[in-house]
Amino acid sequence: MSKAQCYEGGKGFQYLDLKAILGIYFKKLNGLQKYQHFLFEASNLGTVKVQEIANGPFVEFNLLKTKKADIFEEIKSLSILVLTPPPLDYKRQEYLYNNIRPFVRDEFKDITCPKPI
């Protein structure tokens, strides 16, 4: 039987501001959307291998902006800001309550689609 499980005791997911931190240390991969497969290896930190098609040749990119030897220890020690999503506006709450709630199991209705406030 499937059973819903709450993440972190019901606290929900955390959204981290990785873009702000990673942008300091890593270059953007131009043309990201054209690649279908990405390979990261622990033995080659800072490098990504990409494929445009399945079983095609890999192309390798070094994404590090710096060649500092201790860069990964520096990154590991950073505190990353936890982003708090804004609350749903009234119109969206009303839509969920009126249109989605009927399809949600009774025990989850008040969590997933509560009455708009």
Token pair for residue 45? 């930190």
Token pair for residue 75? 């990154």
Contacting residues for 36 by C-beta, under 8 A, at least 6 apart = 51, 52, 53, 54
pLDDT of residue 2: 52
pTM surpassing 0.85? no
* pLDDT top residue among 54 and 10: 54
pLDDT of residue 96: 96
Q: What is the Cα–Cα distance from 80 to 82, expressed in whole angstroms?
A: 6
Q: How many beta carbons lie within 10 A of that of residue 50, not counting itself?
A: 19
pLDDT of residue 9: 63
Mean pLDDT, residues 21-42: 92
Q: What is the Cα–Cα distance from 83 to 94, expressed in whole angstroms?
A: 25
